[in-house]
Amino acid sequence: MNEHLLLAYIPVLHEGYRRFIEAHGTGRRLFLIGPELHLDHGPLARDIRALPADAVARAVGSWSICSEVSVLDAAGAERLAGERPFLTMPAEDVSYLVADRFFGRCEVRYDTVFLRWDKTRTAQLLRAEAPSAPAADPLLAELVAKAEERAGASVDWWRRVGAAIRYTDGTVAARANEHLPHRLSPYVVGDPRSNFSKGVALELSTAIHAEAGLIAEAARRGVPTAGAVLYVTDFPCPPCAKLIAGAGVAKLYFRAGYAVLDGRDVMEAAGVELLQLA
């Protein structure tokens, strides 16, 4: 039977890592992914929190959870791979990189550990679920109709998004995603979004999102957004979520979509009530 080992990149000492090690590494050998194994992984070079791997090894060893704690270099990784161990690793980009590079013939199990914003976590698309909106609400129905109408008229054929807002004085405004400096810009010079999958590099776009456009328009007109009610056909992206939270919107209705990064958490922390249309 192949030995069951723990292999992990641990940049900082954290209760979450202790729990991960305790759950999977009690009485087993733990190998820490040393810098030699990820020298070409650019994002880690910018991780200014990271402790030296040998310091982490000494600290984790003092917890007396694992039978052995050591730092793995490239030569050690090749020797270990030859033993064909069964590995448990955190589910993040560094683990996938090292496993593909050195342990392609080993059985590897991943367990989700959210302890840093690795690329896998940053671009993860989460289901944007919220309590259902009231079935019969004429004020909401007006917002939905105006937002859907604007979305249907959008020239952004691959992602038609509309939004409508009701200010506290009862007035309503609506708009759709709009490309700048001209609404047909992507059809003249090409759409930069074609270089990315959905949810990735959201800020790299020639379009102003519908929600952001409404909030900017309100600022230009001097209309207060605090306490406003907003409906958007698709769940807001992280930048728009932060604008909605900062604008003091009281209630956000959405039809569908996905949540990325911390957008939902930011809105909920700001007191925005989230409701989804059935």
Ordered per-residue pLDDT tens for the chain, 278 residues = 689 999 999 988 888 899 999 999 999 999 999 988 887 766 666 667 789 999 999 999 999 999 999 999 999 999 999 999 999 999 888 899 899 999 999 999 998 876 666 666 666 666 777 777 777 788 888 999 999 999 988 887 667 899 999 999 999 999 999 888 888 887 777 777 777 776 677 677 788 899 999 999 999 999 999 999 999 998 998 899 999 999 999 999 998 877 777 888 899 999 999 999 87
For 230, phi then psi, to 5°, come to: -125, 140
Q: Is 153 left (phi over 0), alpha (psi -120 to 50) or beta?
A: alpha
User: CA 129 to CA 115: how far, in whole Å?
Assistant: 23
Cis peptide before 181 (omega within 30 of 0): yes
Quickly tell me which residue has 């690329």 as its tokens: 119
CB 65 within 8 A of CB 21: yes
